[in-house]
Structure 1
Amino acid sequence: MAKATRNLITEVLNPEDNNRNTVHVVANAIYFKGEWRDPFDKEDTVDREFHRLDGSSVEVPFLQSWSYQYIDCHSGFKVLKLPYEMMNESNWDWMLYHSLPKFCMCVFLPDDRKGLQGMVEEIASSPKFFHDHLPLKCVPVGQFRLPKFKLSFETRIVAEDLKHLGLHLPFDEAEANMTDMLLEEDERRVFVSHVIHKAVIEMTEAGSEAAAVTVECDDMGCSLYDDSPPPPKPVDFVAEHPFTFFIVEETSGAVVFSGHVLDPSKEE
């Protein structure tokens, strides 16, 4: 697992998860490492206050930029899109470029320091809301600060969530039928006892690195040049309070990672 995720996730199972009744452990790992199309300069990184939801604050490193950025302002929140590098200039291929997946990180920042929950509810209000509010053009920035962070998340209640969605059979000790996972002569009854999910993401000046693992245990029993219109007004984007982020593949619209940043000084 460590090799598959470049040491972002070194272990998922606890000793008690793998016992004499365990027949199979099925693991699915996703690893993503992206470099920004326009990396941030480490010399510009500064320590500033980040305001937590409880009203306290903590000093953390912030990335800074004075370049044009993909930013859109909406009622109650702003959205930032940071594209990842697709190809190096040294091996640029225009035809290949159009066939490659295009990834970006999208940051949804509420205007209110305690507005994260309301904004997330708004995002979840409609399947089209997320994609309808992504920035389409670059704008000049005034103040631009985004905290560096490394977050990890683990949950062992995925099975309960799946049951709530209607998937009951694999977890039913009496009814589950997974004989295809066993040898023909093996007549033991197997069911899914645990589904464990762990994710880690780290964001730096160069880009972001993310990994996620889901394990099942089976037990017996920009455009800068335009001469015609006047330049747009600079936009501030200062993520100094809790926000939510998504890593998106733009061609398909698929969200491959998502999370909330509540305190960049903590990993969990």
Structure 2
Amino acid sequence: MKLCLSLLLLLPALLSAELCDLQPTSEMAAALPHFYQGQLEFSVAMLEAIRNTTANENVFFSPYSIYHALLLAYFGATGETEEELSRVLRLGWAPSKETVRHAYRLDKSDRLLRAKDMPLEFSSADRMYFDEQVKLTSCLETRFHDEIVQLNIKDNVEQTRQQINGWVANVTKNQIENMMAPGDIDSNTKTVLANAAYFKGQWINPFKARKTFQMPFHTARGTVSLVPLMSQIKTFPVHWDMRLRAVVVQLPYRTSFEEGDNASDISMVIILPFGDNALEQVLTKLNSVTLEAALREAKAKEIMMKLPKFKLEQRLNLGSILRKMGVNKMFDHDASFNDFSADQGINFGDVQHLAKIKVDEEGSVAAAKTHINVLFSGPIQVICDRPFAFLIYDRKSKAILFTGIYRDPTTME
């Protein structure tokens, strides 16, 4: 299973004393759990916002990537712009920006350590590209040395575009090679904030190709299409959730190349409505509390799992979606980013997001009803032959790395 994405926040033509002057404090030791919880709450809220604007469409994006790109904007924001981003990113727990930056660093370091010697790959990288004319604050360069790149954007627009695309391609293992199209930046562009992520995981219980058959898939609009439906009988963590009125199944990825190894902290979570329930009704009840409860209450049971094999690519312009979530000030001409530069007025011109996923028998690169029969003498059946939601979820950090809604197979590859 392969997933990859890139997100770019483009700013046409400032770090404050708070970020520059504060030193680490005792509160920072407890920052990471708050950081994780806020990230989870933001992710579920973004899924709801995108769902409401994409009725009857397939959806796929990375809330993790979007959150981290917006964090870069938060680190540079001041005044009302900072307050707005803090609310939307659920950072009310933090006494200072430095506390958030500390949690941000701990999260990145932890992911690097966990990535060693594993077939499961998840990489996420952040970059802030500034035009050479922007005079950056000295503490910005010190605290974000790895993320900052200064270029002559004004005189080398095409070269800048290609350099950013090359960086995105490298992070996503060449899965996304042309994130920025000609015209996405111009000579007035002063700053580009970017995040790129890549995921590749192997199921701990791979599906067998010989058990994949064309089967009917029933959309919410009443149409029926044939899809390649993978099938296996294995033991998975599963929960029949009466709050959501959905079955929640966790399909773990493996931690090593050895047979019989333990499941990793990262799983694909399938949220499949009960037979008499619509996916939209389930998603209106999905929030950080109901999601965590469904995952926590899961029990290992033998089930017959049937899941479509699919590829999905989606490009989203997130400006209008972020406004619906409460991010408005950063797009206005009077936005305040004095923590980036005290000499240049900056506001966000665009937010672009591109994500891909491939789900097959090996894993992920990131009028029929649901059949759940608790009286069935064999394995319980969970058949994804109608719209469902899915997450690539990291249990340790409570992070939704990627998420999507499978509604209509006819619009996929």
Task: Bin the TM-score by the shorter chain.
Answer: 0.7 to 0.9
Alpha-carbon separation, structure 2, partners of 1:131 and 1:205:
27
Tell me the equivalent position of 2:387: 242
Contact kept, 8 Å, 2:215 with 2:227, in 1: the verdict is yes
Tell me the equivalent position of 2:85: none
Write out per-residue CA displacement over residues 103-131 of structure 1, whole angstroms, 9 at most, x where no aligned residue.
Answer: 0011010123761100111113xx31001
Alpha-carbon separation, structure 1, partners of 2:236 and 2:335:
54
Alpha-carbon separation, structure 2, partners of 1:198 and 1:132:
30
How far off is 1:193 after superposition?
Answer: 0.7
Tell me the equivalent position of 1:133: 294
TM-score (norm. length: structure 2): 0.51
Tell me the equivalent position of 1:261: 406
2:353 to 178, 190, 197: 197
1:148 to 309, 315, 330: 309
CA RMSD of aligned residues (A): 2.7
Tell me the equivalent position of 1:214: none
Is 1:79 aligned with 2:248?
yes
Look up the equivalent residue of 1:172 and give its one-letter code.
D
Look up the equivalent residue of 1:56 and give its one-letter code.
T
How far off is 1:176 after superposition?
Answer: 3.3
Alpha-carbon separation, structure 2, partners of 1:15 and 1:255:
31
Is 1:208 aligned with 2:364?
yes
Q: Which runs of 5+ in 1 are unaligned?
A: 211-231
* 2:365 partner SS: strand
Is 1:108 aligned with 2:108?
no
Tell me the equivalent position of 2:74: none
Q: Which runs of 5+ in 2 are unaligned?
A: 1-167, 367-376
Structure number with higher helix proportion? 2
Tell me the equivalent position of 1:32: 199
Alpha-carbon separation, structure 1, partners of 2:309 and 2:289:
29
Q: Percent identity?
A: 28
* 1:146 partner SS: strand
TM-score (norm. length: structure 1): 0.77
Alpha-carbon separation, structure 2, partners of 1:79 and 1:248:
12
Query: Does the C-alpha gap of structure 1 residues 47 and 154 become closer, same or farther in structure 2, counting only changes over 3 Å?
Result: same
Structure number with higher strand proportion? 1
